Amino acid sequence: MMKLVIVGGGHAAAQIATSLRMKKFVGDVAIVSDEPVVPYQRPPLSKMYLSGEISAERLPILREQAYEGANIQLKLGARASTINRDAKTLCLADGETMPYDKLILAVGGHARRLSCKGADLAGIHYVRTMTDTDAMRGEFNTAKRIVIIGGGYIGLEVAAVARKAGKAVTVLEATDRILARVVAPEVSDFYTQLHRQEGVTIHTGEMVTEIEGNDRATAVITASGERFESDMIVAGIGLVPNIELAADAGVAASATGIEVNAHCQTSDPDIYAVGDVAWFNHPFYRRGMRLESVQNAVDQAKVAVEHIMGDDATYDALPWFWSDQYGLKLQIAGLSEGYDTLVVRGNPEERSVAFFYMRDGKMLAADCVGRVAEFMNAKKLIAARIDIDVSLLKDESRPFKEIAAEILSV
C-alpha cells in the first residue's frame, strides 16, 4: 500500500483529500498541518470572517468526518521540520518520523513582515491565518483609526470591511498606484475612486520607514516625512513562499518558490509541490510563475493526485481570481502582463464594468466588476487565442454571451 503524506493544511491539502476520495485511492494517507484546525477557506479572512458576517463554523472546506470517512489521518498542530530523502521519511517537530512513498508539499507561504524600525511593536497585524484574523478582531472592534500598509487585494479588502464598520481608514501604498502589480492603471483608478467614494484616504508613493510607539504602535512614518496616527495597523505587503522544508532537503527551490514540472513534481520525483508555494512554467504564458489563488491550489492538487495515481496529468489551467470589496465582486481571468490595448465595456461610474486586456488583437486577460457573463465568456475567449474585433467587446446593446458566441463561431 502506498504511503502518501501531505504537508500543509490549506486549500490544496483539502482538494487533495477530495480528489483521493473521488478517485478511490487505496493507501495510507496523512495530512500534516501546523495549524490547529481542519483546512479552511482563507479568502473570508479579509472579508466576511473579519466583518463577522460569517462565523468560524462556516470556514472549513471539508468537515472533519470527511477525512475520517476517506481514511485520511489528520495531524493538526503538527509541524514538519525535515525531509530525509534517502530514507524517504518526514520528521515532525515533536520528533515523530513518518515514512512516505510520495510526499506532497502544500505548504503555502507566510505574510511578508515589515522590517522597518518599530516593526515588532504590538498593534501591527498581518492577515494569513484564522489565528491572525481572530487576533485582529478584538482591536478591530474598538479601533477608530486604522492604517493599512499596502494597496494590494488583501489591504483593500480589509479597508472595505473597516470602512463598513465606520472606521477612519488610511491606505499607504509605496508605488504610484494601488494594485499596480496586477491591474492596468485604469483599473487602479477605478478602485481608487471606489475607495475614496466610500471614505477611505489613499496615499500613494508613501514608503513606510518607521512605526512609532512605546510598547504599542501609534503612528506610521513614511519616507516623505508624513506621520499617520493609528489605533491599529494592518500590513498586506505580500507573501513569502515556505520553501525551507524543500530547500533544506536539497529539492530545487529558490526565493520564488519550489520548482515543479507540469505534473507538479519537484526535482525529486517522489516529492510534489502544489499551490501558493509552487514555481512552475505556465504552458499558456510560457514563463515561470507562482500563483496565489484558490483556483491554482485546487487545480494543481488535482494534477498531483492524478499523476501519483498513474495518469499523465499536466497543469494547463487558465488562472482566475476574485476579490470582494463593498459588496462588489471583481473576477479576474488570465494574466494581463504584456498587454498592448485595454478595452473597456460598461461604465466605471456605475460600478459595473469589464476591462479586457488585448495583445496583438487577442484577449489576454479580463478584470470584470459585477460582470459575471463577461468573466465566464472572457475565459473562453482567452483560451481560444483568436483575433477579436474590439468594437464587438464594447457593444453594450447586445448581451456579452451572444457576442462571445459570435466571436467563437468564426
Ligand X SMILES: Cc1cc2nc3c(=O)[nH]c(=O)nc-3n(C[C@H](O)[C@H](O)[C@H](O)COP(=O)(O)OP(=O)(O)OC[C@H]3O[C@@H](n4cnc5c(N)ncnc54)[C@H](O)[C@@H]3O)c2cc1C
Q: To the nearest 10°, report the CA torsion of 71, 72, 75, 76.
A: -110
Which residues of the shown chain bind ligand X in the complex (CB under 6 A)? Answer: 7-13, 32-35, 42-43, 45-46, 79-80, 106-108, 127-128, 154, 242, 245, 275-276, 292-295, 297, 321-323
Cβ distance to ligand X smaller for residue 46 or 222: 46
Cβ distance to ligand X smaller for residue 13 or 363: 13
Minimum separation from the CB atom of position 13 to ligand X (A): 6
Nearest residue to 374 via CA among 349, 353, 388, 347 = 353
Minimum separation from the CB atom of position 194 to ligand X (A): 16
Q: DSSP label at 329?
A: E
Minimum separation from the CB atom of position 4 to ligand X (A): 15
The DSSP line for 2-27 is: EEEEEE--SHHHHHHHHHHHHTT--E
Minimum separation from the CB atom of position 38 to ligand X (A): 10
Q: What is the distance between the terminal CA atoms of the chain, rounded to a whole angstrom?
A: 51
Cβ distance to ligand X smaller for residue 32 or 59: 32
Q: Taking a C-beta distance cutoff of 8 angstroms, is the pair 300, 108 a contact?
A: no
Q: DSSP label at 118?
A: T
Instruction: For residue 167, give the amino acid letter.
Output: K
Q: What gap in Å lies between CA 223 and CA 209, rounded to an integer?
A: 6
β-pair type (217-222, 328-334): unpaired
Cβ distance to ligand X smaller for residue 10 or 346: 10
CA 34 to chain centre: 19
Q: What gap in Å lies between CA 230 and CA 217, rounded to an integer?
A: 8
β-pair type (27-33, 2-7): parallel
Minimum separation from the CB atom of position 245 to ligand X (A): 5
Cβ distance to ligand X smaller for residue 206 or 276: 276
Cβ distance to ligand X smaller for residue 127 or 363: 127
Cβ distance to ligand X smaller for residue 158 or 343: 158
Minimum separation from the CB atom of position 296 to ligand X (A): 7
Minimum separation from the CB atom of position 94 to ligand X (A): 11
